[in-house]
With several copies, the nearest count.
Chain A
């Protein structure tokens, strides 16, 4: 019994669907519905549905009533059917509204089947483009992935370190003779003279790896504080360290100028 219920619910989406089914089953022309026959079959189905699904949808009941009404109109003697002598007899066919509705519904049902075919087709084809890597849809505001460099990564990691109060540990690691704050002073002095300094010049004469790293961290710190920014006039070209003018530094969320190209080293874009 329960199987039957599922079947009925799935098979007939509504009264129109049931009617179309009956028309097809009886192999009759939709434009010449044998209203008596169809109505009685419809009512049988409706009773069956009521047995299985007690709260059968109201639309099915309404359609049942409509069919009964049409049937009763059809039973009237022909001269009483035509109320308006001006009208074409066929226009007054009491079935007309229903036929029009059914024809329309049938067309859309076919259109839905066509859509279903297309859906199945789309499901079985794979585009070279559906990488789903998320590159096409910008997610949130943030640095463009293409513009990111390892320095951005390092910088991001540094921010995390700062937040997790690990800065003290960080300082402890490096040898005492090189401190980030010393190197900050060094870089500030260097860039005070020239507005633009080449990146490699910062490390001139540095033999110790630790010293290079500490200098580098100092540079990142200055970039973060918006005292400096990095620029690259061409891809793979020399990276320049540029002193940020004070008015520029004061402006919040100041980002890179037009000099950097996508893919080149860019300054931090953190707030």
Chain B
């Protein structure tokens, strides 16, 4: 087995662009079922070797006239289809986007978008109902993700929107959401937590105390 083939397989199956560091990490810890000389050899592959293998794959694809190529995006590699196939592939893309979000899911997404980072308890506080199923859907679709833990008792998970979310709605960052500054300041009658006290923070990921129940 060649390193080149293994990297092709990894890029083929990956769900997102992979940086060299991550490819290296994947090579370093194969499942025990693959405990052989081959897997041991790949365990120590250097980033430079991985990089070379990717270059060789690129050459292969060009020479063989493959329908896809390797693209490097922000230091991460992924396979993308060749542009000349776009007239047909567009149809597949439309189909992909045809999945439906339920209204509860949409509302939950909106709350997370405008109030991130936010805990599940706070989302439920706003919506008045449990959001387990809906959160599952949003997480599975890659629209929201866990961004950290709130520094409050129990250290609950904090949720925020993802890059996919931005891509999906054509936003370059979260501050492009309509009326974001105003709406972030609106007091949501959360049972426990108080309204955020920092109207000057337009970026959602830093210093967002919305989830901190200060002196409740």
Are A and B close enough to touch in the complex, i.e. CB under 8 Å?
yes
Residues of A within 8 A of B (CB): 13-16, 31-32, 57, 59, 63, 88, 90-91, 93, 95-97, 99-101, 103-105, 107-109, 111-116, 118-146, 148-154, 156-157, 159-161, 163-166, 169-170, 173-174, 210, 213, 216-217, 262-263, 269-271
Q: Does B157 contact A (CB under 8 A)?
A: no
- The chain B residue sitting closest to A93, CB to CB, is B213
CB within 8 A of B100: which of A109, A144, A151, A169?
A144
Residues of A within 8 A of B68 (CB): 128
Could you tell me the distance between the alpha carbons of A30 and B80 in the complex, rounded to whole angstroms?
41
Residues of A within 8 A of B171 (CB): 118, 150
| Main SS at interface, chain B | mixed
Q: Does B64 contact A (CB under 8 A)?
A: no
Q: A16-B127, A114-B178 are in contact. List 16 more A-B contacts (CB 8 A).
A: A100-B187, A104-B186, A108-B114, A112-B110, A116-B103, A119-B100, A125-B82, A127-B78, A145-B168, A148-B101, A151-B178, A153-B106, A169-B187, A210-B182, A263-B94, A271-B103
A268: min CB distance to chain B, Å: 10
Q: Mark B103-144, 1 if CB is under 8 A from A, else 0.
A: 111110111011000000000001111100000010011100
CB within 8 A of B97: which of A57, A145, A217?
A145
Q: Are B86 and A124 in contact, CB atoms less than 8 angstroms apart?
A: yes
Q: Are A141 and B102 in contact, CB atoms less than 8 angstroms apart?
A: yes
Q: Are B140 and A134 in contact, CB atoms less than 8 angstroms apart?
A: yes
Q: Are B126 and A142 in contact, CB atoms less than 8 angstroms apart?
A: no
Q: Are B97 and A154 in contact, CB atoms less than 8 angstroms apart?
A: no
Known contacts A111-B177, A129-B16, A135-B96; is-contact A88 B212 (Cβ 8 Å):
yes
Q: Are A96 and B179 in contact, CB atoms less than 8 angstroms apart?
A: no
A169: min CB distance to chain B, Å: 4
Q: Are B179 and A150 in contact, CB atoms less than 8 angstroms apart?
A: no
Residues of A within 8 A of B38 (CB): none
Q: Does B170 contact A (CB under 8 A)?
A: yes
Q: Does B197 contact A (CB under 8 A)?
A: no
Q: Are B98 and A103 in contact, CB atoms less than 8 angstroms apart?
A: no
Residues of A within 8 A of B213 (CB): 31, 90-91, 93, 95-96, 99-100
CB within 8 A of A90: which of B86, B113, B142, B212?
B212
Interface centre among A126, A165, A166 (most CB of B within 10 A): A126
Q: Does B63 contact A (CB under 8 A)?
A: no
Residues of B within 8 A of A217 (CB): 179
Count of chain B residues with a beta carbon within 8 Å of a chain A beta carbon: 71
Q: Are A16 and B169 in contact, CB atoms less than 8 angstroms apart?
A: no
CB within 8 A of A124: which of B83, B102, B187?
B83
CB within 8 A of A115: which of B16, B85, B109?
B109
Residues of B within 8 A of A130 (CB): 93
Q: Are B102 and A140 in contact, CB atoms less than 8 angstroms apart?
A: yes
Q: Does B52 contact A (CB under 8 A)?
A: no
Could you tell me the distance between the alpha carbons of A263 and B168 in the complex, rounded to whole angstroms?
10
Residues of B within 8 A of A148 (CB): 101, 106, 168-169
Q: Are A133 and B187 in contact, CB atoms less than 8 angstroms apart?
A: no
A17: min CB distance to chain B, Å: 8
Could you tell me the distance between the alpha carbons of A261 and B31 in the complex, rounded to whole angstroms?
14
- The chain B residue sitting closest to A32, CB to CB, is B216
A236: min CB distance to chain B, Å: 10
A216: min CB distance to chain B, Å: 6
